[in-house]
Amino acid sequence: MLDSTRIWLWGGRLAGALVLGFLLLPIFAIVPLSFNGGSILAYPLQGLSLKWYAAVTSTPRWLHAVGNSLIVAVSTVAIATPLGTLAALGLDRIQFPGKSLLMALLISPMIVPVIITAVGVYFFFAPLGLANSLTGLVLAHAVIAVPLVLVTVNASVSQLDRGLLRAAESLGASPMTTFRKITVPLILPGIVSGTIFAFAASFDEVVIALMITGPGQKTLPRELLSGTRENLDPTVLAVASILIAISAGLLLLLTLVQHRSAKHHT
């Protein structure tokens, strides 16, 4: 006879599996349609074909959108990763009144609804001439990406062995040498995780992109949204499948980084 603990355990697993299946169901519906040989978005499939993926790689508007998304995401990472890392290190080393309040302010973009952030950024950037530009979009994405880096790096910094730092200082290592050869390698998994989160947050973001960019600066998510409104065809599903594959790849990379980090600490 099963005890109550085992029943709760298997019940929780079953509930988790059902929720996961519900969340993945749209993916299982979209991806097969992107390989449909016909132009009708319906089952059963009219054969299998890669022509819609070929259409993505040969259509200028999709290629332009992909290029814009990559430029914005990489630029966002280049800004957010150093800022978030330095903020995490500074908050860890310095004790002062109001530290908790400052931390709350720094991570507030993770809590505030993105539409509010988008509207606020637009009214702030418009007088500065940063609206309808990729520069403005990069700066806006950096605002939402820095907290992600800060939180992940802060988790790594909190587990830092202070004895190693004191040992390096006692052996005559300069602060820069200690930071470069001890601190950075130990918190590198957190930095890499924050970088992945920052890239994904920028690459998949659409609400701020709708507010900040104009017709000439469309990113891939914005072009995808426009495609679903104007001309829904399997090309849109092919783009959506590519985004799903990129997100899954980033998630797998993040899992590998966390696994290696846990293995290193054990």
**For 239-260, what is each residue's pLDDT tens digit?**
888 888 888 888 888 788 777 7
Residues 6+ apart with CB under 8 A from 204: 221, 243, 247
Tokens (6 digits) for 118:
């988008």
Question: What top-level class would CATH report for the domain 53-264?
Answer: mainly alpha
Mean pLDDT along residues 106-115:
86
- Decide if pLDDT at 265 tops 70: no
Question: What pTM was estimated for this model as a whole?
Answer: 0.82
Mean pLDDT along residues 224-243:
78
Which neighbouring-strand residues pair with 48? 36
What is the domain partition of the chain in residue ranges?
Answer: 53-264
- Decide if pLDDT at 1 tops 50: no
Distance CA 261, CA 138 (A): 30
Distance CA 77, CA 152 (A): 14
Question: If you ran DSSP here, which 8-state letter would residue 42 be given?
Answer: -
Distance CA 124, CA 120 (A): 6
Which pLDDT score is estimated for 262?
63
Mean pLDDT along residues 108-117:
86
Mean pLDDT along residues 67-80:
92
How much of the chain exceeds pLDDT 70, in percent? 95
